[in-house]
Amino acid sequence: MTRSMSAAGAALVLAGLVTTAGPAAAAPATASTAAPAPAACAPDVIRLPALPSGPWTSGAVNDLGADGLAVGDSLGLPAYWTADHAVHAVPLPAGFQNGKVSAVNAKGLMVGSVERSSDHARAAFTYRAGDAAVRLLTGATPAGASAADVNDAGHVVGMDSGTAKEWVDGAVVRELPVPADAHPSTQIVSLDGINKRGDVLGTAHTEYVDLENDAVVSKTFPVVWPAGGGYPPYSLPVWTDTYWTTGTRASGIDDKGRVVGFEEENYRELRRRTPAVWKKPYDALPTSPGPVPGYEQLTFDAISPTTNVTVGSAVTFVEGYARYVQAAYWPGTGAPLVLPNPAGASTDVNTEARTASDDDRVGGAFRDLTTGVDSAVIWTCASKQAYAPVGQAR
């Protein structure tokens, strides 16, 4: 499973990923620098085909399912790819013009959101391959609604007009409250994942005036709601909890409850991204492996369910813009690595890794900066392709 950012968390969206230059591809690392991989896999970087037409130029794999299934968006439309890499459109409900599939479980249940162009109202949906129509979980609301993730038991989590919800069989089974120890101003801005057990991960934001110290307190931090609702949610500790320019976003939770995300700082031309990892019982500050050697910043954007693999984007900002962006791969120990560009790609490219599966696939996006067109991409046998970009100054 994976996570998907909501519009409510726009202040935390990675800034400037579409820019004017990119790093050249390098040879994969030797076996001594790459993580172990299953014996039966063939390393490849597959640029998936796009739908015939759509409202945008974007395309990405947002999650990976069983039997070679991949889900995401193609040219601004919700889409999925089967094991033969054929692309299929998810049917849009009447009145909606764009959308995306955010996640899929092992049983093929997809979740995502659709949007109207006229007023940008969004609705959350579920869908299975072959169905004639999606199943809407919410009405269309200008305040935004989206389904971010689904586990194998069919529990769907997402946002509905600013309220964090969990659905089963199309019905709301619980609304997810802010932690009891949070300030009254706290709001949940996104839901970012659900694991096999049913633990839910989200991101909260609080902002208020501290009259005693004559200061504005601004804090963005991850929250974990234990499965079933029998225990109160956890507020995960963060490095920085008082500056409005800095916040910490959650992005993924694995089946053992390990949480990944990143702290980001945005102020004028300053851009900083620091990867973060939390472990149960969530009573200590996060740890960080640091950036990819040769790159200044790193985001952690997803974690595999059981293999401890975390992926994201290695980034170097120039004058506030992400000039170099490369798909990043961390096996859980040592320094983070990067994944190669597709064969034959030009030097002016950016890549992002958005999801990792237990069968050693990584999904994400490839952008050709000369054309401005994104392609959905899959790295197969990713651990055998991950390498340390020695000597590449980024």
Q: What are phi and psi of 10, to 5 degrees?
A: -60, -30
The two tokens of residue 281 are 């019982």
Q: What is the CA radius of gyration of the chain?
A: 20
Residue 226 vs residues 172, 223, 382: alpha-carbon distances, Å = 17, 10, 31
Closest Cα partner for 195 from 237, 169, 166? 166
**pLDDT tens per residue, range 54-66:** 999 989 999 999 9
User: Band of the pLDDT at 320, cuts 50, 70, 90?
Assistant: confident
Yes or no: say if 146 and 125 are a contact pair by the CB < 8 Å rule.
Answer: no
Residue 124 and residue 146 in contact, taking contact as beta carbons nearer than 8 Å: yes
CA 105 vs CA 1, 4, 43, 69, 82: distances in Å: 6, 14, 24, 10, 14
**52: CB partners within 8 A, 6+ apart:** none
pLDDT band with cut points at 50, 70 and 90 for residue 243:
confident
Give the pLDDT of residue 274: 97
Mean pLDDT for the stretch of residues 171-176 = 97
Kindly report the average pLDDT of the chain as a whole number. Answer: 89
Convert 13-27 to b/e letters by CB count within 10 Å (16 or more is b): ebebbebeebbebbe
Q: What percent of the chain has pLDDT over 90?
A: 76
Peptide bond into 281 cis (omega under 30): yes
* pLDDT in the model for residue 215: 83
**pLDDT at residue 185 greater than cutoff 60:** yes
* CA distances in angstroms from 50 to 61, 87, 96, 158, 384, listed in the order given: 11, 7, 20, 27, 27
Residue 241: pLDDT band by 50, 70, 90 thresholds? confident
Going by pLDDT thresholds of 50, 70 and 90, the confidence category of residue 392 is low
Separation CA 42–CA 262 (nearest Å): 31
End-to-end C-alpha distance for the chain, whole angstroms: 31
Q: Which residue has the tokens 């490219």?
A: 349
pLDDT for the residue 105: 98
CA gap 314, 299 in Å, rounded = 7
Q: What is the mean pLDDT of the segment spanning 37-54?
A: 86
- 155 compared with 347, residue with greater pLDDT: 155
> How confident is the model over 278-309, as pLDDT tens digits?
999 999 999 999 999 999 999 999 999 999 99
Q: Locate tokens 């896999």: which residue? A: 41
* Average pLDDT rounded to a whole number, residues 300-326: 91
Please report where in the chains the tokens 């709601």 appear, as a residue: 225
pLDDT at 1: 52
> pLDDT tens across 349-375, in order?
999 999 999 999 999 999 988 888 789
Runs of H (alpha helix) within the chain = 382-385
Asked if 2 contacts 102 with a C-beta cutoff of 8 angstroms, the reply is: yes
pLDDT at 216: 85
- As a residue count, the chain comes to 394
Q: Does position 31 have pLDDT exceeding 50, yes or no?
A: no
Taking residues 6-15, report their average pLDDT: 33
pLDDT tens column, 220-230: 999 999 999 88
Which pLDDT score is estimated for 391?
57
